[in-house]
Structure 1
């Protein structure tokens, strides 16, 4: 029974850390979801309606951000959109790591170092997750890889003539 409790505690702590990391990485969509949900709740939508509307609003903010970064050609605009998502994530990461490091790190200097590293890591993770579609070119049209200068089948002939091709019809 003791081993079962240790396993469940380990899984619970792991789930808690994953949830905090996911929330910090998606800080801007979470803020949008929280704002829309609170507005809906104050408008009389009820708890279930506010949760549904808030979740939909946060998901739409994340999808629009990813689509905007992936579809724009301007590097300045991509940088601005990705920064709008990564900076709140870095601030949230700083505060999460700072609060958690107060549990086990006695030195304030080391807590600050860990908090800054957490901010860099979580801000970078947010940046990478937002720009993932840009790397793979999901929204761009795929074309041929080699783009040959001449058509591939230049030496092919129609009909049933089985004679060997002349030197002018051979592929280069």
Structure 2
């Protein structure tokens, strides 16, 4: 029975890590959607209104980011947009890793080290996934005909 619970715990941790890596791209839209929904609820919109405002804000944030990545030409500006999406993913990765590690590692120093490694890993994965969403240049663009 103990072996099954250990295996089950490892499987759950694996699924949660996979979920974290998969959803890290959506950290900024999630945070902004939660903030907008909380604001709407605080102004008296009710639960349904808050959910709708939060979903619209999250969708608008993700769509705006995708449009900026597709339409902006300078590379430095694309990096700014990417960093705006990667920074919340790094924070979420740190928090998620720290939440797991604080239950398994007694040393606070090692908790911070492992949390930092988790944050960097989630940030790299979010950056790679976001760069995969950038449309490539059409063939022949920038080549002048002779």
Counterpart of 2:50?
50
RMSD over equivalenced CA pairs, Å:
3.0
C-alpha distance after superposition, 1:89-125 (max 9, x if no partner):
2122112212210111223332222111111111112
2:87 aligned with 1:90: no
Mark the CA change 1:30 to 1:101 in structure 2 (over 3 Å): closer, same or farther: same
Mark the CA change 1:48 to 1:81 in structure 2 (over 3 Å): closer, same or farther: same
1:27 deviates by: 2.4
5+ residue gaps in structure 1?
151-172
1:19 deviates by: 4.5
TM-score w.r.t. structure 1 length?
Answer: 0.66
Q: Which structure has the larger Rg?
A: 1
Counterpart of 1:112?
112
Q: Determine which structure has the larger helix proportion and give its number.
A: 2
Mark the CA change 1:114 to 1:80 in structure 2 (over 3 Å): closer, same or farther: same
5+ residue gaps in structure 2?
none
Mark the CA change 1:45 to 1:117 in structure 2 (over 3 Å): closer, same or farther: same
Q: 2-side partners of 1:35 and 1:85: how far apart?
A: 16
Q: 1-side partners of 2:51 and 2:15: how far apart?
A: 22
TM-score w.r.t. structure 2 length?
Answer: 0.75
Greater relative contact order (Cα < 8 A, sep 6+): 2
C-alpha distance after superposition, 1:17-37 (max 9, x if no partner):
444455554322111101111
